[in-house]
Chains A and B, each alone.
Chain A
Amino acid sequence: MSVTTYQLKRVDLIFKNENDWKQILSKTLKRKKEDIINSLISSELKGRGGAGFPTGMKWKLTSEAKEETKYVICNADEGEPGTFKDREILTQVPHKVLTAMAICAYVTGASEGYIYLRGEYKFLQKSLYNAIGEFERYCEEIGFHFRIAIFMGSGAYICGEETALMESMEGRRGEPRNKPPFPTDSGYLGKPTVVNNVETLVHTYTIFKYGAKKFRDLGVQYSRGTKLFSISGDTPIPGIYELELGMTLSDFVEEFGDGDTKAVQVGGASGFLVPRKRFAETQIGFQGKLTGVSLPTGGSMMLFNSSRSMFNVLNNYLDFFEEESCGQCTPCRVGCQQLLKGIHAVKRGDKPAVYLNKLLKLSENMQYTAKCGLGQSVGNSFASIVENFREEMIF
């Protein structure tokens, strides 16, 4: 790889397959549970699904929960528009995911694991079952009792939200629960449950293999390690890339843009749109940066060039949310409809341009009042697009 002048580093940890999972598994299962948790905590790994909860803390809380039965769930309901990394992980390195699930089970005291697989990924089911069969046989061999089953989703975006996911697994309608209680206390079937994103689990594998320090040395403060990015849109080189966290959008666009990048949507439909003028000050990573803006992401990066209408982009997102809201809470169910209908009314001239202000206020209130992450994050793309491209909304 050629040396670059900007701060963007490609890394190859996730897909590098040295087929050493048996060794990593048996080695790690010999370690003390506290030791494993401490090493995860010191790695500063944060959840890669988008919310960024410290993974070590999640495992610790579940391990401390006083219940006989516990569960480990791998969230493979990859549904965020513009995200397609988990599919690749499950295709290329499923054993790493299974190993991480088993170690999580060891640490927390669970004996059953589930992979909640996105309905559209049904084609992966067979190969995954093969991998699981092989994996379970090895577990038997080394005397570690852990079973993994695949639960097929049915195509609802909201079921990627961990509590809706568990409702769906329990045979009910996929609607998010009230929190607290959190899944670490009361999750699947009311038992303490770790729900980790596919990619998060693979990062723990990296940490078990190379140690926490190697992971923490990557990335920047508050945003350690690497991240898989699903890069799409107006780019000559779309695809999945593993990059160190902490790069600025300027660096990113220089590498992946087509020379005419107008804006980048970071984090999919529920993320933020960053216009060109903010590329330099925007860092990709978790919140906590001292200056400028730091944007977390489940990995979706969509690039838009000057040929794109931001009205159409926003319309597309809102259309998605209006349909994919579970519909239970008022701000999300009705709010999404209002935002969608509202921008069309402004565009048609049925509502005055200042109506956008009312909609912005609404999107802000949705953020405060919606029951789950879906409704709370609709305002991210709405506000960032409307505020930065107001003219395109009106004319």
Chain B
Amino acid sequence: MNEKVNITINGVPLRVDENKTILDAAEELNIKIPTLCYHKDLCVAGNCRVCVVEQVGTNKLPAACATPVHDGMEIMTNSLKVRNARKHIIELLLAEHNAECTKCYKNGNCELQELAAEYKIINQEFMNLVADHGCTIDDFSPSIMKDDSRCIRCQRCVRTCAELQGVNALTVAYKGSEMKISTFFEKPISDVVCTNCGQCVNHCPTGALIEKNYIEEVWEAISDPEKHVVVQTAPAVRVGLGEELGFEVGERVTGKMVAALKRLGFDAVLDTDFTADLTILEEGTELLHRLKEALVDKNPDVKLPMATSCSPGWIKYIEHMYPEYLPNLSSCKSPQQMFGALVKTYYAKERKIKPENIISVSIMPCTAKKFEANRPEMHDSGYRDVDYVLTTRELAIMIKQAGIEFMKLPDEHYDRLMGESTGAGVIFGATGGVMEAALRTAYEIVTGREVPFENLNITAVRGEDGLREAKIKIENPVKEWAFLDGVELKCAVAHGLINAREVMELVKSGKSDYHFIEVMACPGGCLGGGGQPIPTDPEIRKRRMEAIYAEDMGMPIRKSHENPEVKQIYQSFLGQPYSEKSHELLHTKYLPRERY
């Protein structure tokens, strides 16, 4: 038990745990202290100093985020001394900041702008320093743009890249007035170990790090009468989009999102969940094949554990950091890219549209998907499989631009052919979801029975722990899979690349004998993706996760292999899972990359 201490904040007495900071304590009293460098996902930096408060009896103004309370402490959060100092700090940040807000992508969603408005920083007498820094914009990456002139050096991105992801692509360079956030040898973001996960974008308080947006390109495609514009929506978008458009965190807006996309003018609104289900059949089959080849045939070229390949941030991470384990990755493309390859082949054929006239757009909770769509391997349809990738945030911008009153929209349904999905497809949006969906299907293929969990909910693979393990014993399999009788299938689930490293180190050390690993690059899985609404923090991720599982429970079909459109595509187009046709369109290869 923590010791309690007595303090006062603005004269109000409070009894509080002694390990709490002044900021935590103030929150208990519903007193807001402004912050910039502070983020609930990250360690405390205490470097912006916006949260300074007065500690009665001392001369200094301590940073509320970084100072623990102690007994008898008297804090003033809004004294004249505090206000004056805080205004100076905001003014200093603005002097160093390219404050041409109307030319900024984050205009209206910028923490510095909010503070400047709150404190009415109108008479800016300090000298403008922006020109001194000779700032450069890095827009080489297809996913992420960095504009140093908008940077306030809070180092949230640096801490994100180090603590949440363990990638350290972004770091601090130089000192004093020249201090800035940079990369290894100041190379462009596209040329370093960056995985494009976009967590830095999601954690940036200003417009210094943003996604590369393709909004205008999509508008142009929509208004081109020659083009048939198809859109797919990833599972996690439906539990995040509402936050940008007036709904509470955790509200499911699937039907309204579909309605909005139709009103935006997309010719067909389809669902990535469909290819998520397809992924399960392909990847589940691949896993069973691998198990057979490794356990029965003893083929040394077949690697276990098999790792999921849905998360493009994770793919690029393993390509940089553990290239020797690329054979362990499932050869399955991500649902987005499976969808892209099928839209310009299967869909085009069925709908009798020339593939060159199809523009395929995807709405993703992710910035790495932009990079993935841009990979040279992703042209198996004979065209670029996915033309444009928009984040959840970019979709919200388009909906606002179109003047759609999102909250008042009716619920509508996805279009047919590639719009049907199951609960198993939906849970791809949460960490552990691919694992759970795969087990629901694989277990049933092998044993002919449903997974032995109440309501099909495999709770052991769910949750927020960075690394989770689960075992499932296979008993009385059907004849074809008799060799698996009594085998205990060992699975691991990791989310956030810092945990991916942990699981890979376990594999590398030989201490674990997993058969199957699911890794998602972002904390919480796709629902906490770099392209999701800002802010994202532990509490928000939890609510989005609840929404994902509620969506799953609400679906009439909850197993991928029962998706009627999936059955149909195998019947009329692909043949069998893991077939030659599947390999041609739905599977891919990976590329070892350097660390520097």
A residues neighboring B (CB under 8 Å): 156, 158, 173, 175, 178, 180, 321-331, 333-338, 341-342, 345, 355, 358, 361-362, 365, 367-371, 376
Chain A residue nearest to B126 (CB atoms) is A338
A-B contact pairs, 12 of them (CB 8 A): A322-B177, A327-B178, A329-B48, A330-B47, A334-B93, A337-B96, A338-B95, A338-B127, A338-B129, A361-B84, A368-B81, A371-B46
Query: Are A328 and B179 in contact, with the CB atoms below 8 A?
Result: yes
Q: In the assembled complex, which residues on chain B have CB atoms less than 8 Å from the CB atom of A358?
A: 125-126
Closest chain-B Cβ to A385's Cβ sits at a distance in Å of 20
Q: In the assembled complex, which residues on chain B have CB atoms less than 8 Å from the CB atom of A178?
A: 44, 46, 63, 66-67
Query: Are B85 and A325 in contact, with the CB atoms below 8 A?
Result: no
Q: In the assembled complex, which residues on chain B have CB atoms less than 8 Å from the CB atom of A368?
A: 52, 59-61, 81, 85
Q: How many A-B residue pairs have CB under 8 A?
A: 118
B534 within 8 A of A: no
Q: In the assembled complex, which residues on chain A have CB atoms less than 8 Å from the CB atom of B68?
A: 180
Query: Are A345 and B127 in contact, with the CB atoms below 8 A?
Result: yes
B residues neighboring A (CB under 8 Å): 44-50, 52, 59-61, 63, 66-68, 81, 84-85, 88-89, 92-93, 95-96, 125-127, 129, 132, 152-153, 155, 171-172, 174-179
Q: In the assembled complex, which residues on chain B have CB atoms less than 8 Å from the CB atom of A158?
A: 175
Report how far A338 CA is from B177 CA in the complex, Å: 10
Given contacts A158-B175, A336-B176, A368-B52, contact A329 B47 (CB under 8 A): yes
Q: In the assembled complex, which residues on chain B have CB atoms less than 8 Å from the CB atom of A330?
A: 47-50, 89, 92-93, 152-153
Report how far A329 CA is from B63 CA in the complex, Å: 11
Query: Are A327 and B85 in contact, with the CB atoms below 8 A?
Result: no
Report how far A338 CA is from B125 CA in the complex, Å: 10
Interface of B is mostly: loop
Given contacts A173-B172, A362-B88, A368-B60, contact A329 B49 (CB under 8 A): yes
Given contacts A180-B68, A333-B153, A338-B126, contact A369 B85 (CB under 8 A): yes
Q: In the assembled complex, which residues on chain B have CB atoms less than 8 Å from the CB atom of A361?
A: 84, 88
Report how far A175 CA is from B127 CA in the complex, Å: 26
Given contacts A334-B95, A369-B52, contact A326 B175 (CB under 8 A): yes
Q: In the assembled complex, which residues on chain B have CB atoms less than 8 Å from the CB atom of A370?
A: 49
Closest chain-B Cβ to A184's Cβ sits at a distance in Å of 16
Given contacts A180-B68, A327-B153, A327-B179, contact A365 B88 (CB under 8 A): yes
State the 10 A-B residue pairs at the shortest beta-carbon distance, nearest first: A327-B179, A334-B92, A178-B66, A328-B47, A368-B61, A323-B176, A325-B176, A178-B46, A365-B85, A329-B47
Q: Indicate the member of A323, A331, A345, A362 with the most B CB atoms within 10 Å.
A: A331
Report how far A49 CA is from B67 CA in the complex, Å: 25
Query: Are B47 and A371 in contact, with the CB atoms below 8 A?
Result: yes
Query: Are B49 and A371 in contact, with the CB atoms below 8 A?
Result: yes
Query: Are B63 and A336 in contact, with the CB atoms below 8 A?
Result: no
Chain A residue nearest to B59 (CB atoms) is A368
Chain B residue nearest to A327 (CB atoms) is B179
Q: In the assembled complex, which residues on chain A have CB atoms less than 8 Å from the CB atom of B96?
A: 333-334, 337
Chain B residue nearest to A328 (CB atoms) is B47
Report how far A64 CA is from B29 CA in the complex, Å: 36
Report how far A322 CA is from B174 CA in the complex, Å: 12
Q: In the assembled complex, which residues on chain B have CB atoms less than 8 Å from the CB atom of A321?
A: 176
Q: In the assembled complex, which residues on chain A have CB atoms less than 8 Å from the CB atom of B85?
A: 365, 368-369
Q: In the assembled complex, which residues on chain B have CB atoms less than 8 Å from the CB atom of A331?
A: 49, 88-89, 92
Closest chain-B Cβ to A147's Cβ sits at a distance in Å of 31
A322, A324, A328, A334: the one within 8 Å of B155 (CB)? A328
B88, B95, B132, B174: the one within 8 Å of A327 (CB)? B174
Q: In the assembled complex, which residues on chain B have CB atoms less than 8 Å from the CB atom of A335?
A: 92
Closest chain-B Cβ to A179's Cβ sits at a distance in Å of 9
Query: Are A369 and B177 in contact, with the CB atoms below 8 A?
Result: no
A322, A328, A367: the one within 8 Å of B153 (CB)? A328
Report how far A178 CA is from B44 CA in the complex, Å: 9
Report how far A322 CA is from B176 CA in the complex, Å: 5
Given contacts A324-B175, A327-B175, contact A365 B84 (CB under 8 A): yes
Q: Indicate the member of B47, B85, B153 with the most A CB atoms within 10 Å.
A: B47
Closest chain-B Cβ to A296's Cβ sits at a distance in Å of 15
Q: In the assembled complex, which residues on chain A have CB atoms less than 8 Å from the CB atom of B66?
A: 178
Q: In the assembled complex, which residues on chain B have CB atoms less than 8 Å from the CB atom of A341?
A: 127, 129
A328, A329, A333, A355: the one within 8 Å of B177 (CB)? A333
Known: A368-B81, A369-B88. 12 other contacts (CB 8 A): A158-B175, A327-B172, A327-B179, A329-B46, A329-B48, A330-B47, A330-B152, A331-B88, A333-B177, A361-B88, A367-B60, A368-B85
Query: Are B179 and A369 in contact, with the CB atoms below 8 A?
Result: no
Given contacts A337-B129, A368-B81, contact A327 B52 (CB under 8 A): no
Query: Are A369 and B89 in contact, with the CB atoms below 8 A?
Result: yes
Chain B residue nearest to A338 (CB atoms) is B126
Q: Indicate the member of A342, A362, A367, A368 with the most B CB atoms within 10 Å.
A: A368
Chain B residue nearest to A370 (CB atoms) is B49
Closest chain-A Cβ to B161's Cβ sits at a distance in Å of 14
Query: Are B89 and A323 in contact, with the CB atoms below 8 A?
Result: no
Q: In the assembled complex, which residues on chain A have CB atoms less than 8 Å from the CB atom of B59?
A: 367-368
Given contacts A330-B93, A362-B88, A368-B81, contact A337 B47 (CB under 8 A): no
Query: Are B153 and A369 in contact, with the CB atoms below 8 A?
Result: no
Chain B residue nearest to A334 (CB atoms) is B92
Q: In the assembled complex, which residues on chain A have CB atoms less than 8 Å from the CB atom of B44?
A: 178
Chain B residue nearest to A174 (CB atoms) is B175
Chain A residue nearest to B88 (CB atoms) is A365
Q: In the assembled complex, which residues on chain A have CB atoms less than 8 Å from the CB atom of B48?
A: 329-330
Chain B residue nearest to A355 (CB atoms) is B125
Q: Indicate the member of B68, B125, B174 with the most A CB atoms within 10 Å.
A: B125
Q: Indicate the member of A156, A175, A327 with the most B CB atoms within 10 Å.
A: A327
Chain A residue nearest to B65 (CB atoms) is A178
A156, A362, A371: the one within 8 Å of B63 (CB)? A371
Chain A residue nearest to B128 (CB atoms) is A341
Report how far A324 CA is from B175 CA in the complex, Å: 7
Report how far A330 CA is from B49 CA in the complex, Å: 7
Q: In the assembled complex, which residues on chain A have CB atoms less than 8 Å from the CB atom of B88?
A: 331, 361-362, 365, 369
Q: In the assembled complex, which residues on chain A have CB atoms less than 8 Å from the CB atom of B178?
A: 323, 327
Report how far A335 CA is from B48 CA in the complex, Å: 12
Chain B residue nearest to A158 (CB atoms) is B175
Closest chain-A Cβ to B169's Cβ sits at a distance in Å of 16
Q: In the assembled complex, which residues on chain A have CB atoms less than 8 Å from the CB atom of B177?
A: 322-323, 325, 327, 333, 336-337
Closest chain-A Cβ to B130's Cβ sits at a distance in Å of 11
Closest chain-A Cβ to B83's Cβ sits at a distance in Å of 11
Closest chain-B Cβ to A291's Cβ sits at a distance in Å of 20
Closest chain-A Cβ to B53's Cβ sits at a distance in Å of 10
Closest chain-A Cβ to B58's Cβ sits at a distance in Å of 10
Chain B residue nearest to A320 (CB atoms) is B176
Report how far A178 CA is from B60 CA in the complex, Å: 14
Closest chain-B Cβ to A88's Cβ sits at a distance in Å of 28
Closest chain-A Cβ to B73's Cβ sits at a distance in Å of 12
Report how far A180 CA is from B108 CA in the complex, Å: 36
Report how far A26 CA is from B189 CA in the complex, Å: 59
Chain A residue nearest to B180 (CB atoms) is A327
Report how far A9 CA is from B171 CA in the complex, Å: 51
Q: In the assembled complex, which residues on chain A have CB atoms less than 8 Å from the CB atom of B95?
A: 334, 338
Query: Are B60 and A376 in contact, with the CB atoms below 8 A?
Result: yes
Q: In the assembled complex, which residues on chain B have CB atoms less than 8 Å from the CB atom of A355?
A: 125
Q: In the assembled complex, which residues on chain B have CB atoms less than 8 Å from the CB atom of A327?
A: 153, 172, 174-179
Chain B residue nearest to A335 (CB atoms) is B92
Report how far A324 CA is from B177 CA in the complex, Å: 9
Query: Are B179 and A333 in contact, with the CB atoms below 8 A?
Result: yes
Report how far A367 CA is from B92 CA in the complex, Å: 15
